[in-house]
Amino acid sequence: MTKHGKKYTDAGKRYDREQLHDPLEAIDLVKNLAPAKFDETVEAAFRLGVDPRKAEQMLRGTVSLPKGTGKSVRVVVFAQGDAARAAEEAGADVVGAEDLVARVEGGFMDFDVAIATPDLMGQVGKLGRSLGPRGLMPNPKTGTVTPDVAKAVTEFKAGKVEYRTDRYGNVHVPLGKVSFAKDDLAANYQAVLDEIIRARPASAKGRYVKGVSLSSTMGPGVRVDPTRTKLDESVSAGNE
């Protein structure tokens, strides 16, 4: 059983854990209940009506947060020649080919996103054991295997984030920081929700968005009404 600190416990007493809130109310609560002295990350968790045992029902993709993530994203790019120069000009933190592969094999993991050109995936594939478990392996589905590495670097630096279902059918996506204005967090939440609904697998039956909760890094979870697919109205689109 997880033991929580006094601030977390006090925060939990200030609201009803079982109550469903509209997204704006939930964002307000998360901001007010955040107990830490540092600027916590706000995260959304979606419980989806998918079968994680079926490959075609596993979601994986990216979504651009219109208000950014609030954090500095460290990007490495596996590329050579013109692509490598373009990646550097776009602001990649580390760029390399065989040398970067060797560096990662040696334990270098100080980055948040890895991007690769298709021609280098034969070498990058060797890093599956180290990059895979961390969710850092470049993949065409998330736009991290691409000939246009400069565009990918720019997008991830600007607030593009990856999402994927876990083994239980849940998707966790960061929405920004507690210090963000409520409207900015709301805009990011709407972008993520729209993307989750857009990515609904054709074979998923029944209720799709079964549950939603928002929380800060150290704060308690606040339940969101999963039928509220638009911030300004109560509708059940995508949930039939």
What pLDDT is stored for residue 9 in this prediction? 57
Among candidates 229, 214, 236, which has minimal Cα distance to 42? 214
Q: How far apart are CA 13 and CA 27, in angstroms?
A: 17
What predicted TM-score, i.e. pTM, was given to this entire model? 0.80
Residue 158 host element (H or E): helix 149-158
- pLDDT digits (tens), the chain, 240 positions: 455 556 555 555 556 778 898 899 999 999 998 888 899 999 999 999 999 889 899 998 999 999 999 988 999 999 999 999 999 999 999 999 999 999 999 999 999 999 999 999 999 999 999 999 888 999 998 899 999 999 999 999 999 998 999 989 999 999 999 999 999 999 999 999 999 999 999 998 899 999 999 999 998 899 999 888 777 543 333 444
Q: What is the pLDDT of residue 141?
A: 87
Predicted pLDDT of residue 240: 41
Predicted local confidence at residue 17, as pLDDT? 77
Per-residue pLDDT at 6:
60
User: For residue 143, what are its two tokens?
Assistant: 């736009």
Tokens representing 234 are 């109560």
The Cα 126–Cα 122 span in angstroms is: 7
pLDDT of residue 34: 86
Report DSSP state, residue 85.
H
Structural domains of the chain, with CATH? 6-69+160-224 (3.30.190.20), 75-157 (3.40.50.790)
- Give residue 144's Cα distance to chain centre: 14
pLDDT at 8: 54
